[in-house]
Structure 1
């Protein structure tokens, strides 16, 4: 099965397939491929007669096949895009066309948020005569690397802290991330490096009061800074949900504990790879490991689990999240 990068490379070389069946949970890659075809497969003057967009809720298999079997008018090819094809219940009935597609048609099927059973004949027929692409969600721990790669392809750079802030704030929603990066690319300085200051100024994420700074303050055992941050969180609970803070702190302290069991701690690349972090942050984990014993780290992880349950209403009489967070941070630090 071809990758997103392979498909785009072929499209840029104008190597078109008669069928693109684009399926899966991550809509970003499906939209990118579809939009590239719509923007580049036909000249602007050819689109009125040779570009058709159908919607799954408003069409059927017969209409799709009829559109796909038309010949282009005064052009080398035509493009037929079916959006929201996941709404078509009998999509496998396209098999009759898939087995014998028209070479002058580029048929693009957007089958979002679900996938075909690749053990069945229909997906195999697509792969034999066209492109079958499964667009999978990127795991959260892979998002920083994806951001760096995306920014590099746009001829920009992003510093590690700014990358962390975007990941924390936007999660693995690639559409939101790329929109934020496009906004930043327009507004950053001539240095072409996106910084935490740029994130704060243009996206509205505080560079000083966020989960990244909280975990660093805890790692350093900086009581004053940690309390400043949680007080800020308490007055901005909507933008700083406790469930997210606990999840990130759980990941952080689990990695600090894992650091204890890395044999070759002098090799920063090995440490970074083992912990799945940017090498830039290895020094922070080393400091945290000096400040917390392995026994204390185990108790912190247990505390985080306890307060996660309490924040969700288990074994708690209704203490507000701000107070719960203050309790938790006090117990971590003391």
Structure 2
């Protein structure tokens, strides 16, 4: 995120690079940078003659280079943006001749989503020397909550840890989807106000009471009544609460709980650091550790793996989600 800010700042300050090669598994930042170039380098009057968007599926490296070598008309720069450049992967190394000697009045942006250049090849090294090589890495789900917090902080908002986790559960690690939902919240929630689970439920439609994180907490507390109510809700709404998501989250929780048992230092700061969780959730492990000794945790993990296989049709077929959820609760509690 800091690297993105620096790239944007350089463009804003009038010191753009001649080539931007944007690659990696997370399309969000690739789109953000290319869109910033498209919106801010040229004025609206200049864009008509000096800004071009090409698509990798419909063009070639030679055609891109031919356009990049043109001179701008009544403008300091021309902008050439190549979207979906991953479709040029077989010939991508042919950009080397242009990158070695780029047109100084052209800003060439290559959006190479879901792929990466080979670091051993000449093109990788050439772009590092004369342009900007940016790799947009996919965030792990345990990193997305912090990304949400930082993104909202930049917009003068705060978010409760549980609210951030609800977004992650509902939307996964797709930053583009999350950003869209955050933009919706920003329309209806005034700045400086904390975004809570209630606001998430009201404006996005994610239940603050019937979700996997509440199920995990109920199981950790051995609160059979609450866990049963949540499972019944999941059974009635299977499309919104897929079994694979539930069992994956619970497997992660009990694996972390096993790690917790193995720690000598159970201070909140150390637990949060070792388990990779927000300090807000450390108490859940403290409570669960009292209810599930290490030997029991190992047995639960084994049961979860067997249920995961059954849910995927291994050793069983056409098992209803409601039956799997009930069996899950019985096996754990």
The aligned residue for residue 17 of structure 2 is 17
Structure 2 CA distance for aligned equivalents of residues 258 and 94 of structure 1? 49
Offset, 1:188? 2.1
Counterpart check, 1:253 vs 2:244: no
The aligned residue for residue 106 of structure 2 is 105
Structure 2 CA distance for aligned equivalents of residues 281 and 38 of structure 1? 42
Structure 2 CA distance for aligned equivalents of residues 189 and 96 of structure 1? 51
Offset, 1:189? 4.8
Offset, 1:191? 4.7
The aligned residue for residue 285 of structure 2 is 285
Counterpart check, 1:229 vs 2:211: no
Offset, 1:288? 0.9
Counterpart check, 1:139 vs 2:108: no
Offset, 1:257? 1.9
Equivalent pair of 2:158/2:192 in contact (CA under 8 Å): no
Structure 2 CA distance for aligned equivalents of residues 239 and 57 of structure 1? 35
Alignment of 1:193-232 (within 5 A): 193-232=194-233
**Residue by residue, what CA displacement relative to the aligned partner does 1:143-177 show, whole Å, maximum 9, x if unpaired?**
11111111111211110011101111111111101
Alignment of 1:1-334 (within 5 A): 3-88=3-88, 89-189=90-190, 191-265=192-266, 267-333=267-333
Offset, 1:112? 1.2
Q: Secondary structure at the match of 2:262?
A: coil
**TM, length-normalised to structure 1:** 0.95
Structure 2 CA distance for aligned equivalents of residues 20 and 27 of structure 1? 15
**Residue by residue, what CA displacement relative to the aligned partner does 1:227-284 show, whole Å, maximum 9, x if unpaired?**
000000001111101111000001111112211122121x211111111111111111
Structure 1: runs of 5+ lacking an equivalent: none
Structure 1 CA distance for aligned equivalents of residues 298 and 136 of structure 2? 38
Structure 1 CA distance for aligned equivalents of residues 281 and 138 of structure 2? 25
**TM, length-normalised to structure 2:** 0.96
Structure 2 CA distance for aligned equivalents of residues 327 and 61 of structure 1? 56
Cα 1:331/1:62, change in 2 over 3 Å: closer
Equivalent pair of 2:257/2:288 in contact (CA under 8 Å): yes
Structure 2 CA distance for aligned equivalents of residues 292 and 210 of structure 1? 22
Structure 2 CA distance for aligned equivalents of residues 191 and 37 of structure 1? 30
Larger CA deviation: 172-181 vs 254-263:
254-263
Larger CA deviation: 69-78 vs 218-227:
69-78
Q: Secondary structure at the match of 1:271?
A: helix
Structure 2 CA distance for aligned equivalents of residues 128 and 262 of structure 1? 46
Larger CA deviation: 189-198 vs 117-126:
189-198
Equivalent pair of 2:156/2:192 in contact (CA under 8 Å): no
**Residue by residue, what CA displacement relative to the aligned partner does 1:167-199 show, whole Å, maximum 9, x if unpaired?**
111111111010111111112256521111111
Structure 2 CA distance for aligned equivalents of residues 314 and 61 of structure 1? 47
Structure 2: runs of 5+ lacking an equivalent: none
Structure 2 CA distance for aligned equivalents of residues 318 and 54 of structure 1? 47
Structure 2 CA distance for aligned equivalents of residues 18 and 317 of structure 1? 57
Give the aligned length: 331
Structure 2 CA distance for aligned equivalents of residues 191 and 130 of structure 1? 39
Superposed CA RMSD in Å reads: 1.4
Offset, 1:311? 0.7
